[in-house]
Structure 1
Amino acid sequence: MLPKPTDSQSPGTPQKKPNRLQRIWQNLGPGLITGASDDDPSGIATYSQAGTAFGLATLWTALITFPLMAAMQEMCARIGLVTAQGLAGTLRKHYPRWVLYGLLLLTGPAIVLNIGADLESMGAVAHLLLPQVPTFAFSVFFTGLILGAVIVYPYQRVAAILKWLCATLLLYLVVPFLVRQDWLNVLRQTFIPQFQFTKAFASILVAILGTTISPYLFFWQTDMEAEAMQQNSVVNGHGKRVMVNKRLLESMRYDVNVGMFCSNLIMFFIILTTGVVLYASGVRRIDTVEQAAQALKPLAGEFAYWLFAGGVIGTGLLAIPVLAGSLSYAVAQTFGWRGGFDRKFHQAPAFYLTITVSLVVGLLLDLLGISPIQALLYTAILYGLTAPIMVALILHLANNKAIMGKFTNGRLSNSLGGITLVLMSAAAILLLYFQVTS
């Protein structure tokens, strides 16, 4: 998993044995960060729209997406561990270049649009909390803060910061308990799926699926596992390659499963919050996270409002480095540039310039008149078109013995991956249909 910092104590100093909670925390890394980053402000907007428009009718989707997300991210993590390369680097080595260029052409703009939507949402929510400061000023501040952190701090510090930012998602577990609700009905809606045969309901299901299983997460998970392997090789073996074994795979799977469970748990509670507060109060439509926060204030109270708004800012600070980093890793590996958070700016200028450009272009989308909702729409279309192709490629990679050796997919991984491929392909077709007929 994530490399442990080198110990600064002298050789003769006795080491303090970590307790159980510390060991659990130390074993969490790329999987936890990947899962938490999936609940970015854009994802919060999607889940809030689901709860506001349909109440608790989409709670069951959290049970469906969890095993699919876990299976796909586990494959990506295993590819990163076995190859010690990022996803783009592995595709570049084993596939025709046009495949990787095509994926980058579709995924790159989607990630930049996603960054722009998240920055604008964070700025808008911060403006609600401090109305004296303009929204765009807050967006500029957050851009500078994120850019400074990823450039100045080394890989281990960035990873540690991202891990602690995951804690901001816990805010969303509190809000539903601040209002009275029928927990038996919540359980019923969770375990007995509902489906409304309407275009609006089908659209929100496609949006949820596209938000939870996003292509940028595939790049990030693989790259972080590969980078952790490289760091561990330096720390533990003086540059020698750390071998993949059963214990390492079990640790990785634990990390991925916890991360994906947390991601779906937060998704569940956001739908629950907006369903029992906004939908139950007659609110049927919100388009942005700041609208959701504003609507919660008179209905659930000042504390719930601050929790929801604070969670948006915290998740944005977590997700945007993941978005920008996944794009930069993909670009660097596609063109053979040096890259990685373990290198300083002067050692990998193109890598950090890609991050800089993606953040600045995302920030400027607001000035171009592209609203967060428009950005989310375009992002969903591009992700929807790319996801089935990437799922198919990851399945092929994870079953290729020439690449994975004895660590190819098992029957369960292939079954869940196949279901994911079918659902994502159906979602892409439905998405195109909705755009043509709307």
Structure 2
Amino acid sequence: MEDRTGTGTDARNAPEKNNGSGGTKRAKKEPGRIGRVLRVLGPGIVTGAADDDPSGIATYAQAGARFGMGLLWTVPLTLPLMIVVQEACERMTLATGDSFGSLIRQRFQHGARVWVTVLLAALLVSNSVNAAADLVAIGQGMQLMHAGPAPLWSLIIGVLIGVVVVRGSFSWIARIFKWLCLVLFAYVAVLVVAHVDWAAVGAGILGQGFRWETGYLALVAAVLGTTISPYMFFWQTEEREEMLRSGSRGEDPPRLDDRKPTKARRMLLLGRLDVITGMVFSVGIMFAIIVGSAATLGEHHKAVSSAAEAAQALKPIAGDYASILFALGFIGSGILAVPVLAASGAAGFAALLDRPWSLDRPPHRAKTFYALLLVGLLTAIVLALVGVDPISLLVIAAVINAIAAGPFVIMLMLVTGDRKLMGKERNGPIARTLGWATAGIMCAAGAFGIFALATGA
């Protein structure tokens, strides 16, 4: 019988990583209603927070610095797009017990599989390049806080992340990720010290700052590309599958159709709550960064091209606290995003190849997964240390993501619309309409982004 989860028979029978307790696990008290809600929250929250990585923060800061409140209308635009895509990812994994990579393998055959493999390979490259830019940003942030040279911190953080993902159990890593999400509230705190013109904010949300200029439209495409990135689709499904598997004691989690109706409905409801909470959190941080940058850097016509430059430029305008908060935000988000970038593509590619993968499995039981993860992370560390311009790294990642985002949304819609795979949880009219609209928007944004980069806009 085929291994549906893509984790492999050997992986299922393998011992889990040591949880570090060194003793026999005690019987856990059954959580109450609030405990069950908090326990199910995770993939959506972490995915939303990882979306606001230093690369995304740099894009949002640049939007506020260059065009003031003129790009704020992208906040209410991206929220429903993010929710519909990530809800489809969540529903897909709950319904089937499988990750996106495994379902792509089941849905696409022959010639289509070749194109999917090429896109996933491109995603691996893009994720490594993006992770390199994030490691550079982490190092620069630590240097801004007078903690030592940037390259040293890029190396230290990169190595520590590698040790954690290889040695730590999934549940331990997931707890770390949830706590790291809190650092992004630093950007909400920046709004407190910034003198915000809330009337201008309202006008920006209503689209009054829209411009028919190539540079402006290119930044719109960049905002869409960094907000709805392919690695989010894979991580959302992979983290949820890990959680389902841990609840099934390492065995294949049952399909939603095989669960009791009341439990199935509750799982879908809580899954959607997780997605909506995570995406609202993500765009809320996006809003805070654009507004904070517009009220400070934009008012003083300070051009920035990285998160570190934005933090440095804030110091003489909004004071030391704003600069420190901004730096703390992208340091923490980078530490969260780098392992997500490395693991999401590696797990997706391993599942496509029908190879075992899981952060809960030791490396010798998931060789392909860990090899891809560590090669991607090592590549990111090397790129961060050799002095490659982080803006060049972001441009490369942006081009690849622009090419891949639309096709991956199309694949997602085909998988979640498949009656054989999804059963009664396949896309309904609303999910189908909004999902295909998102695919069209992302394809158009990707095409324009490539055109803008090719023409130097």
Tell whether the structures are fold-level matches, with TM greater than 0.5: yes
Structure-2 residue corresponding to 1:292: 310
Distance in 1, Cα, partners of 2:31 & 2:444: 50
Q: 1:241 Cα shift?
A: 2.5
Matched residue SS, 1:340 = coil
Distance in 1, Cα, partners of 2:353 & 2:25: 38
Distance in 1, Cα, partners of 2:252 & 2:433: 37
Partner deviation per Cα, 1:395-438 (whole Å, 9 max, x = no partner): 11111101100001111111211221111111122122213322
Verify: 1:156 aligned to 2:174, yes or no.
no
User: 1:123 is aligned with what amino acid?
Assistant: G
Partner deviation per Cα, 1:74-106 (whole Å, 9 max, x = no partner): 111111122222211111122122132121232
Structure-2 residue corresponding to 1:266: 285
Verify: 1:126 aligned to 2:145, yes or no.
no
User: Equivalent pairs: percent with the same residue?
Assistant: 35
Verify: 1:418 aligned to 2:436, yes or no.
yes
CA contact (8 A) 2:154 2:385 kept: no
Unmatched 5+ stretches in structure 1: none
CA contact (8 A) 1:83 1:226 kept: no
Structure-2 residue corresponding to 1:251: 270
CA contact (8 A) 1:32 1:256 kept: yes
Q: 1:182 Cα shift?
A: 2.1
Structure-2 residue corresponding to 1:42: 55
Structure-2 residue corresponding to 1:61: 74
Q: 1:8 Cα shift?
A: 5.3
Matched residue SS, 1:366 = helix
Summarize the Cα distance change of 1:23–1:307 in structure 2 as closer, same or farther, 3 Å threshold: farther
Verify: 1:401 aligned to 2:419, yes or no.
yes
Matched residue SS, 1:278 = helix
Q: 1:286 Cα shift?
A: 0.6
Structure-1 residue corresponding to 2:217: 202
Partner deviation per Cα, 1:24-78 (whole Å, 9 max, x = no partner): 5333111111111000000001001101000111112111101100100111111
Q: 1:134 Cα shift?
A: 1.8
Matched residue SS, 2:248 = helix
Distance in 2, Cα, partners of 1:9 & 1:351: 31
Structure-2 residue corresponding to 1:187: 202
User: 1:191 is aligned with what amino acid?
Assistant: L
Distance in 1, Cα, partners of 2:244 & 2:39: 15
Partner deviation per Cα, 1:366-405 (whole Å, 9 max, x = no partner): 3555311111111111111111111111111111101100
Structure-1 residue corresponding to 2:9: none
Verify: 1:117 aligned to 2:107, yes or no.
no
CA contact (8 A) 1:88 1:100 kept: no
Matched residue SS, 2:425 = coil
User: 2:143 is aligned with what amino acid?
Assistant: H
CA-based RMSD: 2.1
Distance in 1, Cα, partners of 2:451 & 2:27: 65
Partner deviation per Cα, 1:254-288 (whole Å, 9 max, x = no partner): 000100110000000000111001111221x1111
Verify: 1:330 aligned to 2:348, yes or no.
yes
Structure-2 residue corresponding to 1:233: 248
Structure-1 residue corresponding to 2:186: 171
Q: 1:208 Cα shift?
A: 0.2
Structure-2 residue corresponding to 1:82: 95
Partner deviation per Cα, 1:219-274 (whole Å, 9 max, x = no partner): 11111222222221228xx8773645111111100000100110000000000111
Matched residue SS, 1:339 = coil
Deviates more, 1:308-317 or 1:339-348: 339-348
- How many residue pairs match? The answer is 426
Q: 1:16 Cα shift?
A: 8.3
Verify: 1:31 aligned to 2:44, yes or no.
yes
